[in-house]
């Protein structure tokens, strides 16, 4: 068994991981690998949103987890269809639909679509003349495939095609996620690694090339003894160490922005901490703290609750519902709702 596992991992490393790393070596060397398409990082799962907006190690029978880590879906899916809606920061309305199903005893696949609408904006030309209102939007189509490597290891790939329309400008990009997950049911331990948003822009808005937000992420989630509680730690933005932010400070000259980029500031801006209470498979309650979200709003009147998120989920035979809430800004909040149905369980 040990030899088979080592052989499989070596084969996966040689055929998939190493070629991908060689292909994206120029990206890995960049200090900042993202200047656009950050909407690809907005979760479609209310469970993930409750745990800080990014979690690649959740073990749940939920097809919407595919956009976090394609290795999180598997043959346990039984013709599951899920819809999600997110009211984002007072003007954004994001919605999506995804369908997934098991493929034999060791594989699964899923397809999905999501639409992101940012509300109405007033347009002006270079002379300051009004050009009317417009609604910027993004449309993403996704396809996911996963397969069991061993009894505890699973790998997957998620392909994304993103079309953006901002006033008279449009663009198109293609990206892929490659992920693996290790899950020990006896220890209630889950560990994941994801190479996220590998790809680039195919059609540009204008002359300037806009990069997709490539990232390397690690995720850990484990139960606390025999209690119904679980802790999670997600490390992201690992393609760069320095991710400073700015905050207002009053001094003799008035309010000024001051850059914050110390060691511990950078360290904690890479981490998301979560706590989950799950007494049974039919219910969970989650709470998380994302220091980066909190500090990003330091220059924009953040509240004490900035960076915190919370959510609940319920499940009955064949149906599940989840809701989560966060307040990143002092005067704006975000709410996400998920509804899913496992058709295979109802038949």
pLDDT tens-digit profile of 195-218? Answer: 999 999 999 888 788 889 999 999
- Stated pTM of the model: 0.85
CA 280 to chain centre: 25
Q: What average pLDDT does range 209-236 have in this prediction?
A: 95
Residue 280 pLDDT class (50, 70, 90 cuts): very high
Q: What is the pLDDT of residue 89?
A: 75
* Both tokens assigned to 57: 């190690």
Number of alpha carbons in the 13 Å side-chain half-sphere of residue 253: 4
Q: Of 264 and 178, which is predicted with more confidence?
A: 178
Higher-scoring residue by pLDDT: 112, 14: 112
Rg for the chain, CA atoms, rounded: 21
Mean pLDDT of 137-164: 96
Residue 59 in tokens = 């073990």
With a pLDDT cut of 70, the percent of the chain lying above it is: 84
CB 250 within 8 A of CB 258: no
Cα–chain center distance at 54: 5
């Amino acid at each position: 068994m040990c030899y088979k596992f080592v052989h499989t991992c070596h084969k996966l490393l040689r055929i998939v991981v190493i070629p991908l790393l060689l292909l994206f070596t120029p990206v890995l060397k960049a200090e900042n690998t993202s200047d656009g398409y950050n909407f690809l990082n907005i979760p479609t799962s209310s469970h993930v949103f409750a745990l800080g907006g990014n979690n690649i190690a959740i073990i749940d029978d939920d097809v919407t987890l595919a956009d976090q880590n394609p290795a999180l879906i598997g043959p346990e899916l039984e013709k599951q269809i899920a819809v999600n809606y997110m009211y984002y920061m007072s003007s954004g309305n994001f919605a999506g639909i995804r369908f997934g199903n098991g493929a034999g005893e060791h594989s699964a696949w899923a397809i999905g679509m999501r639409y992101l609408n940012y509300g109405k904006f007033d347009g002006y030309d270079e002379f300051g003349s009004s050009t009317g209102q417009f609604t910027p939007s993004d449309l993403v189509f996704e396809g996911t495939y996963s397969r069991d490597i061993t009894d505890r290891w699973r790998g997957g790939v998620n392909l994304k095609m993103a079309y953006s329309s901002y006033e008279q400008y449009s663009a198109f990009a293609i990206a892929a996620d490659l992920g693996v997950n290790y899950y020990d049911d006896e220890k209630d331990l889950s560990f994941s690694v994801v190479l996220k948003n590998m790809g680039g822009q195919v059609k540009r808005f204008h002359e300037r090339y806009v990069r997709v937000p490539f990232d390397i992420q690690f995720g850990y989630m484990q139960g606390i003894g025999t209690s119904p509680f679980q802790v999670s730690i997600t490390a992201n933005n690992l393609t760069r160490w320095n991710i400073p932010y700015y905050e207002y400070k009053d001094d003799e000259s008035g309010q000024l922005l001051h850059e914050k980029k110390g060691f511990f500031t950078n360290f904690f801006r890479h981490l998301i901490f979560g706590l989950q209470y799950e007494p049974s498979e039919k219910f969970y309650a989650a709470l998380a703290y994302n220091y980066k979200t909190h500090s990003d709003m330091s220059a924009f009147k953040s509240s004490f609750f900035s960076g915190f998120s919370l959510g609940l989920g319920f499940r009955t035979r064949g149906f599940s519902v989840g809701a989560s809430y966060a307040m990143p800004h002092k005067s704006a909040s975000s709410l996400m709702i998920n509804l899913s149905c496992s058709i295979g369980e109802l038949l």
